[in-house]
Amino acid sequence: MRDLAWATAAELVAAYRAKLLSPVEATAMVLRRAEGLNPELNAFCLLDAKAANDAARASEARWQRGEPLGPLDGVPVSIKDIILTKGWPTLRGSKAINPDQPWNEDGPLVARLREQGSVIFGKTTTSEFAAKATTNTALCGVTRNPWDLARTPGGSSGGAAASVAAGISAMAVGTDAGGSIRMPANFCGIYGFKPGGGRVPMYPPTPYATLAGFGPMTRTVMDAALMFSVISRPDSRDWEALPYDPVQYQDNLAADPKNWRIAWSPTLCGARVDPEVAALTERAAKVFESLGAKVELVEKVFDDQRDLMHKLTRGLTDYAFHKFTPAQLSVMDRDLVKRIEESRGTTAIEHFDAEMQRAQLARQMNEFHQRYDLLLTPVTCVPAFDAAGDAPEGYGAREWYPFTPPFNLTRQPAASLPCGFTAKGLPVGLHLVGPRHRDLLVLQASWAFEQAAPWLARRPAVAERSF
């Protein structure tokens, strides 16, 4: 059963098809591990054994009839506590949200997973309103990294990353408006894919929608492709979503790297990168050279975009929280409240000035991708740091992650690929960015890297326990 914990979603489905395993057995294992490891990891804010077992039994019956609903029928999946999930509170990591509400609607992504027969078994922890790059809140406490319980799994999808890294389930759903899928995947040694903007429908509407992407957090690229094929299906509630592309991503991962022109940027915009992170990501970039791709060093891609992200999100934050009462603000994270207060009074001129700068950045990246198919960088400047902190020693609050937010501004697809470990045994990820609307290319490049430099052999010690 311990080995079953490390089965991929693709392997689970193959075992169901061959009648070697039942979704009921797989779900029972997931629930045992979740309940056993959560006191240490704090990766889940909600587990629902009854709902999960009911869904697993229904899936088992379909497989016995040879009538699965889709490619993820019977696969246990967790949902980040930012996304609406019918029957469960979506508290967004905050005491400011009233749990006593109907909660009678699934978000598009959750609806697609249910339609395909996935077993949704719980909700994972997030930073409050997904607003910072670590996962510790007054509502849920501190979420911890399976590789070192004293360190953060990153944020805001920290619970999702920790759960997958610990062998609880093969896949989880995360959200990313500044790196919230990619940074936790990087810190926890799993694969995290942020789809391009508009590719996965979202609802309800949010001021941050043009920055955000909802996507898979898995142990393999194949599993991410399987989930992406499901969650990218259309939903009429998102009027800004891209037209549906019916490609089955898991069937189209093979590609020839010899055709790729790749830019390797070790600092992107002059970032100060930890020497071990720099060495591991440079070595990973050379894997693409070994595959035949043309890899070129590009020291600087654009100017530091942190100020632009700050200016843009000031206006979004002012609007997003303008109806919050003093009573709600009084129970929220003080740093978040400070940001909200600082955003008050942002003018339309200030906001649209930021939007015009954003348009210039997007144009710059469109032109960049006329020369290069893909861009490689580190994911963060440092490996995982203290679980209770918001920044590593020697770095400012936003200084340690300059690599991921620009590609939320430009709405490009991007991924974090496990590429090695520091001397202290902490995972490091390689950041892979593709052009707008080229999600398949990012998955293909990720797949090629995984085949050349497999990453599944090493597991965190805490995850080797049996339950």
Q: What phi and psi, each to the nearest 5 degrees, are found at residue 116?
A: -95, 5
The Cα diameter of the chain in Å comes to 62
Catalytic residue among 22, 78, 80, 343: 80
For the chain, what is the radius of gyration of the CA atoms? 21
Question: Which residues in 274-315 belong to E strands, given as ranges?
Answer: 294-297
Nearest Cα to 45, choosing from 145, 165, 147, 159? 159
198, two tokens: 């508009």
Catalytic residue among 78, 94, 169, 180: 180
Q: How many CB atoms are closer than 10 A to CB 93? A: 32
- Buried-state track 46-56, b at ≥16 Cβ within 10 A, e below 16: bbbbebbbebb
136-137 and 141-142 as β-strands: parallel, antiparallel, unpaired? antiparallel
- Whether 80 sits among the annotated catalytic residues: the reply is yes
- Report the alpha-carbon distance of residue 198 to residue 88 in Å, rounded: 26
- Report the alpha-carbon distance of residue 255 to residue 433 in Å, rounded: 16
Classify 419 as helix, strand or coil: strand
Q: How many CB atoms are closer than 10 A to CB 202? A: 23
Terminal-to-terminal C-alpha distance of the chain: 9
Locus of tokens 């790749």: 262
Q: How far is CA 72 from the centre of its chain?
A: 19
3-state secondary structure 313-375: HHHHHHHHCCCCCHHHHCCCCHHHHHHHHHHCCCCHHHHHHHHHHHHHHHHHHHHHHHHCCEE
Catalytic residue among 78, 118, 156, 446: 156
- Whether 118 sits among the annotated catalytic residues: the reply is no
- Whether 180 sits among the annotated catalytic residues: the reply is yes
- Report the alpha-carbon distance of residue 134 to residue 137 in Å, rounded: 9
The residues carrying an active-site annotation are 80, 156, 180
